[in-house]
Structure 1
């Protein structure tokens, strides 16, 4: 006998203290209203706003006599029921949903998803588009409404209850309690549609065009955004904040998916555009910082950075970067030609001459010879104010 009592006590404690990892009953944004209804009349009431992530609601209706009070609120009763399945499956917790104290009065009621239909019913008694109609007078009632019910299917933010008194002599007192169940994941505001917005944003990024596994990259990017922000907070970011967040998470996603080369490619393209527009130092800083943070830069990436330094008369830095490029690819003739140019501008002509002469009969690429590229480079240098009296001498050596 003692064992039975102890087991029952432990069971009760486990039910009361149980908590769900999937969601919670929101006792802060619940509805608890007492209405006075004149005899034979109807009266409507709007629930509190249902929070983001509401997937079910429980409502309880209790009619009380003048001196009666509820023994316990619906919120306190639901503490013993860890999740909506405890109600929908008719578990022990559901027995206690109904109020143990009720009066002798009864009422009819209907539930609506919009105010217009509710007010029309309140004034004229014409029922239109009600999601619940209780035509049999009751003095107490409790129900669970799930996401697939008519009342919640349209993701409504409120419900309107309209009560009709069946007491033709005295006024009635109706207590309405509504408690929403909040799904942790959905409360963030992220659903299929909102997630698609982030995926579209990811696919529109310049860096994504250089990524090999685009779906994987955008999937990781999506996870990072949804873990860090609710949908509402993400949408509330001002343009500058959002740009910073997107840049940060795209870089992290590239690293996590092993696509850091795409980051370098994107930075290189952007740096070229900046340099062409005359924002030369900005271009240099962007490419230099990107290469410093990533180990995936190849000879061509460092060759471009060295070229930027060369065209802005930063010859020592150019030499340093071209040397790194040569370590990445010792056979890259574009790098070797830029090294020769740098020696020329540093007035180390003998070193420059040796390189110019050594490769004069080779091609930089399939369609461009060493001589052709040298002439094109000298023209670009002169266009950028980089003149050197030994240009003609070099051309005489290689032609």
Structure 2
């Protein structure tokens, strides 16, 4: 067996670093133009340069999204942008549009190209077509079952790689192609500006009965009839590996550094465990517990085991489950004193129970018993955003270890 790549989202430089440190083999990110996450932090060319240097120093890869479905004006500046990316030694570009593909072939013919899920690749003949054009990898449509994926992999050209989403938000529309945002608020989802109207509250009304709502609502809040559950395949690593998928992709360029680190860490552990003990592999409950501690909606397995039924939707709410708060990140640790220097991310106070996780350690818990500000004065809480402070730790910690706590009822 060939161990699959674990591919993580990077909405900014911090998220890129956390993804790689916590176990991702590669990251995908967008520049300031031509990508489908216009509201993400996104990367300037200088940021991309720095991100690539960090990744390559760790022996890991960076893929850049140029996957909008462009109108004529969107093509302006594309050639120059691609040339700049080529100079920065980007590992691959992710695209969905034949015009963008042609432009890349004209100005950077040696560039590795990955076909985005936006291109809706659902069969082996389409895969063969794109391979013959020069595509190295295809990100499969999310609407495929394991049986369909295995058939595509077996019948596709042997040099072609396949990537698939294994975790994160699901789109109600076919592989992300949607005009609902355009209609509702005038923001083009296919050009990076999705307003997520599938998460809005809706009622059903028949046109000849104005004001009379059909009894499909679950409660007084309404019914979220377009609201998909999040995808989570951490319980199914053997099936994913055996399907022939080369790269396991996590969704979430709009998510936090904590989300990226937590989810990547869990999948890293699950994949490594399977390859260490394929014959005696047992799913560890801790992995699923970990992904539940990151912001999420209720989980499903998407289309992998067949078309989702009503259990693939959430009809009660569009809200995320956020049971845990990311409260700090370790900046330094003095082993002699057992005191860590920490950057605050959310308020924490003396007496609170916290959990500490890191890329290479098992999670442990402790109470906050003592904290000091940068002047060495004892403090009872750290309320200020990104406040630097010190804390005594029960066990040794490392730079980039994450501190979290369970949210209170009023948060």
Is the shorter-chain TM-score for this pair beyond 0.5, marking a shared fold?
Answer: no
Larger Rg: 1
TM-score range, shorter chain: under 0.3
TM-score scaled by structure 1? 0.21
TM-score scaled by structure 2? 0.20
Higher helix proportion (structure 1 or 2) = 1
Higher strand proportion (structure 1 or 2) = 2
